[in-house]
Amino acid sequence: MILSALIFILVAGGMLAWMANRWYPGSAKWVALATVGIELVLTIWLWLQFASAMALPAHGGWFAETRAEWIPRFGVSFHLAMDETSLILVMLTAFLGMVSVACSWTEIQERAGFFYFNLLWTLAGAIGVFLALDLFLFFFFWELMLVPMYFLIAIWGHENRRYASIKFFIFAEGSGLFMLVAILALVFVHYRSTGVLTFDYFELLNTAMSPSTGLWIMLGFFIAFAVKTPIVPLHVWLPDAHTEAPTAGSVILAGVLLKTGAYGLLRFVVPLFPDAALQFAPVAIALGATGVLYGAFLAFAQTDLKRLVAYTSVSHLGFVVLGIFAWNPWSLGGAVMQMIAHGISTGALFVIAGILQDRTHTRDMRRFEGLWSVMPRLAAMGLFFAIATLGLPGMGNFVGEFLILMGLYRVNSVLASVAAVAFVASVVYALALVQKTFHGENKHDWQLPDLSGREMATLYSMAAITLWLGLYPQPVLDAAPDIASRPPAIAVADREGNAE
C-alpha cells in the first residue's frame, strides 16, 4: 500500500491545492509544500527500511510490491514494485518537488492553484513511471506526466511558451505512440508463443522471439526513451522547453522527466530485449558519445543562461546512455550516479537562472556582468554548481562520469577517449558561464537583493547533497542494478571481452 500512497498523495494533494486556492487565496503553495513534504518523509522512511534490511525482497531485489487486478480480461494489473534504483529516483523526485515548490513561492501569482495541481500531477506521473511493472500501467503514467507539464509550459512559461509547449507535446506524444505500438507488439508476440495475454513485466522478460522481431520492437521502446532522455538527434524539443518553462518546470524537466527516459532504457530496453540491445549497443554508444560532445560544444555557444544549461543536459545525459549500453558494474553504477547528480546540480542552475530572471527580467548573460559584487551569495552558489557540472573531483558529477568512462573503456576504448574530450569542453562552458554572469564591471549599475532565506535554504541543501554524492557515493552506487542479474547476452559478451 505504501507504493500506491506515494502516487495518490500527490494526486490528492494536487486536487486539494487547486480547490483550496479557490476558498483561501494563497493557500495552494502551503498545501503543495505539505504534500511534497509528506512524500519526501515517506521516501526517506522507505530508504531507512531498505538500509536496515527490514523489508524482505520480493523478486530478487524488489523489496516492496503492490499488485491488484485492474482489467483482468486483457491481462492488465495495477502492479507497482520498488527496488534500489527506483527508490533513489523516487527520492530524487520528492526532493526536487520540494525545490520546485520553494522556487515557485513568489514567482507564481496567477492561477496558483491550477499551477500546483499540474506540478503535483507531473510528479505523480513520474513516480508512477519509476514504480510501474505492468507495461499498460507504465504507459498510463508516462502519458499522465506529459499533459500537466504541457500546461506548466504553455500557461506559466515565458515569451515563446506556446511554441515550446506545442513542440514538447508533439515530440512527447509522437514518441509515446512508438512505445504503445511496441508494448502491444511485445504482448501479442508473448501471447502467440505462450497463450497467455499479459502486460506484466516479469512475465514478458523471457519472451521468445526472432532476432529481427526483437530488434524492431526494441527500437519502438528506444525511440520513446531516446526522445525523453534526450539523445541526439531527437533532442531538439529540449532547449526551447527548458528556456520557456517557469523555473519549477525547468527543474522538473531536467531533474525528473529526463530521468524517466534513462530509466526506461535501464529497466525495459536492455532487460526485455537483451539480444537486440547487444546488437544495437554500438549504435547507442555512438549516439551517446555524439550527444556528450554536441551538447557541451553547443552550450559554450549560448548567450541565454537557461539555454546554456539546457544543452549541458544533452551532454550529461549522453554519459548516462554510454553507461547503460556499456552494461558492466562500473558503467551502471556511474549511470545511476550521473542521473542523480545531474538532477541536483542542473536543477540548482535552473533555480539560479530563475532567480536572476525574476530580479533582472533577462536571461542574457552579456547583461549580467558584475553581479558578484551585488549578489555575492548567489554568485558563490553559481560558481559552486558550475564547477559541479564540469565534474570537479569531490562532487557527484565527477563520480558518475568517471565510472562511466572506466566502464566504457572496457567496451570501446576509442569512444571512451572521445567522450573524455567533453571534460575539456565542460570546463570551457562552465567557466564561461561564471565569467559572463558574475565577473566584470557592473556597467548596468545593478542594485539587486541577494538570496533570501528561502532561496539560501534551497540552494544550500542542494549543494550539501552534491558534496555528499561526491564524498560518500556508496549508498547511491549500491542502487545500481546488480550485475549478477544482467541479461545473458550482455553478460556473455562482457566475459568474452575480458577473456580477449
Which residues of the chain fall below pLDDT 50?
54-60, 483-500
- Polymer length of the chain: 500
Residues 123 and 54 in one domain: yes
Task: Supply the pLDDT for residue 479.
Answer: 67
Task: Supply the pLDDT for residue 51.
Answer: 66
Task: Supply the pLDDT for residue 494.
Answer: 43
Task: Supply the pLDDT for residue 52.
Answer: 65
Residues 494 and 348 in one domain: yes
Task: Supply the pLDDT for residue 320.
Answer: 92
* 3-state DSSP assignment of residue 364: strand
| DSSP per-residue codes, 140-181 | HHHHHHHHHHHHHHHHH--TTHHHHHHHHHHHHHHHHHHHHH
Give the domain-ending residue among 268, 299, 330.
268
Q: For residues 144 and 375, give the distance between their C-alpha atoms in angstroms, rounded to a whole number.
A: 39
DSSP-assigned letter for residue 134: B
Task: Supply the pLDDT for residue 475.
Answer: 82
Residues 281 and 367 in one domain: yes
Residues 471, 472, 478, 479, CA torsion sign: negative
Q: For residues 168 and 438, give the distance between their C-alpha atoms in angstroms, rounded to a whole number.
A: 31
Give the domain-ending residue among 250, 268, 286.
268
* Contact criterion met (CB below 8 Å) for 197 and 75: yes
Residues 351 and 395 in one domain: yes
Residues 351 and 424 in one domain: yes
Residues 359 and 404 in one domain: yes
Residues 321 and 194 in one domain: no
The range of the structural domain enclosing residue 438 comes to 273-500
Give the domain-ending residue among 268, 295, 316.
268
Q: For residues 221 and 175, give the distance between their C-alpha atoms in angstroms, rounded to a whole number.
A: 9
Residues 241 and 315 in one domain: no
Residues 309 and 174 in one domain: no
Residues 6 or more apart in contact with residue 36 via CB below 8 angstroms: 10, 13, 94, 97, 98, 100, 101, 120, 123
Residues 238 and 337 in one domain: no
CA-based angle 280:478:274, to the nearest 5?
20
Counted domains in the chain? 2
Residues 221 and 305 in one domain: no
Task: Supply the pLDDT for residue 22.
Answer: 85
Residues 309 and 169 in one domain: no
Buried b (16+ CB within 10 A) or exposed e, 342-355: bbbbbbbbbbbbbb
| DSSP per-residue codes, 33-67 | HHHHHHHHHHHHHHHHHHHTT-SPPSSSS--EEEE
What nine digits make up the cell of 63?
Answer: 523489496
